[in-house]
């Protein structure tokens, strides 16, 4: 679909033109600027510059004045300028929506895997003192019918984690190409670091926990945490808090990557 708008003035490469127009082809994301050339008996429309516009296209609008890459244009009224701005910014807004959607789709399995991992570690910690209770939580079988409770518990936990891990990796693979390399690297760093925090809390290793939280603070400046902030939380609650805070930082990084 092509849309054309009259321009009162155009400045491009140090030359100024009093009248012209801009044609926007939404289907291919292309804009072409024309100027009017008068002769003694006629007026010709001549193409001045043509370019593809993307989410990274430089665009500034102030009232009737539009700066588009190296071209400075003035429209007949502010409404026309706003319409042109909306058309040229559409790829950016579409890209934002797509990245937000893909991040949401990636967040769900990441959260499911890490929360399940936290619950699993909590169950394994309780298994030492409450083996029957933990067995009942993980299995519909009567504990008396289970030959080796330890093997049964570990196999059940391993199978569940393997399934959740597979689903997370599959979604990461499907969506990674749409959110940018930096975002994917941040997500993998987040998964790894939270896993280290979980392991450290499970083992009671305050040094490793502090190192992992420090890494998260440096990698995601919007989400600083100290071990004392997590003292009275369950491993599951700790995981949820770390995910909530750090996903906000990742979304900010992803939006910057669109420009």
Q: How far is CA 113 from CA 123, 155, 169, 197, 243, in A?
A: 15, 17, 10, 15, 12
pTM listed for this prediction? 0.68
Is the pLDDT reported for residue 9 higher than 80?
A: yes
Give the pLDDT score at 248.
76
Q: Going along the chain, which residue ranges are E strands?
A: 2-12, 15-17, 20-25, 30-38, 43-52, 59-62, 65-68, 71-75
Q: What is the mean pLDDT of residues 1-14?
A: 90
Give the pLDDT score at 194.
92
Is the pLDDT reported for residue 5 higher than 80?
A: yes
Instruction: Read off the pLDDT of residues 95-129 as tens digits, 9 standing for 90 and up.
Output: 888 888 888 889 999 999 999 999 888 877 766 66
Min mean pLDDT across 35-44, 69-78, 85-94, 167-176 is at 35-44
């Amino acid at each position: 679909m092509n849309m054309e708008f009259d321009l009162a003035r155009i400045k491009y490469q140090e030359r100024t033109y009093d009248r012209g127009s801009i044609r926007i082809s939404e289907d291919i994301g292309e804009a072409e600027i024309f100027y009017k050339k008068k002769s003694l008996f006629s007026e010709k429309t001549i193409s001045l510059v043509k370019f593809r516009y993307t989410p990274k296209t430089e665009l500034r609008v102030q009232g009737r004045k539009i700066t588009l890459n190296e071209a400075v244009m003035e429209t007949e009224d502010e409404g026309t300028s706003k319409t042109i701005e909306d058309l040229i910014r559409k790829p950016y807004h579409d890209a934002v929506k797509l990245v937000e959607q893909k991040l949401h789709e990636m967040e769900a399995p990441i959260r499911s895997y890490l929360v399940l991992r936290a619950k699993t570690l909590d169950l394994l910690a309780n298994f030492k003192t409450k083996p029957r209770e933990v067995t009942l939580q993980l299995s519909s079988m009567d504990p008396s019918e289970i030959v080796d409770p330890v093997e049964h518990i570990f196999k059940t936990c391993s199978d569940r984690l393997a399934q959740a891990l597979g689903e997370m990796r599959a979604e990461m693979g499907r969506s990674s190409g749409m959110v940018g390399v930096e975002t994917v690297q941040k997500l993998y760093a987040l998964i790894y670091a939270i896993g280290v925090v979980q392991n450290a809390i499970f083992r009671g290793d305050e040094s490793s926990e502090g190192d992992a939280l420090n890494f998260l603070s440096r990698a995601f400046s919007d989400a600083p945490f100290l071990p004392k902030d997590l003292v009275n939380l369950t491993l599951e609650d700790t995981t949820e808090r770390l995910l909530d805070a750090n996903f906000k930082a990742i979304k900010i990084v992803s939006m910057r990557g669109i420009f």
